[in-house]
Amino acid sequence: MVRKAVGAGGAGTGRTAVKGARRPEVRLPPLRPWAERDLEADGDYDGLEFLEADLSGQRGAGARFMDCALTNCAVDETALGRARFLDSVLTGLRGVGTRLAEAVFRDVELSAPRLGGVQLHGATLERVVVRGGKLDFLNLREARLKDVVFESCVLVEPDFAGSRLERVEFVDCALKGADFGNAVLKDVDLRGAAPLEVQRGLDRLSGAVISTGQLLDLAPLLAAELGIRVEG
Chain-centre distance of CA 69, in angstroms? 18
Distance between CA atoms of 53 and 224, rounded to whole angstroms?
Answer: 49
13-60: pLDDT as tens digits: 444 568 999 999 899 999 999 999 899 999 999 999 999 999 999 999
170-213: pLDDT as tens digits: 999 999 999 999 999 999 999 999 999 999 999 999 999 999 99
pTM of the model: 0.89
208-229: pLDDT as tens digits: 999 999 998 888 888 887 788 8
- Counting Cβ atoms within 10 Å, is residue 123 exposed (0-12), middle (13-18) or buried (19+)? buried
Distance between CA atoms of 14 and 5, rounded to whole angstroms?
Answer: 21
Distance between CA atoms of 207 and 198, rounded to whole angstroms?
Answer: 15
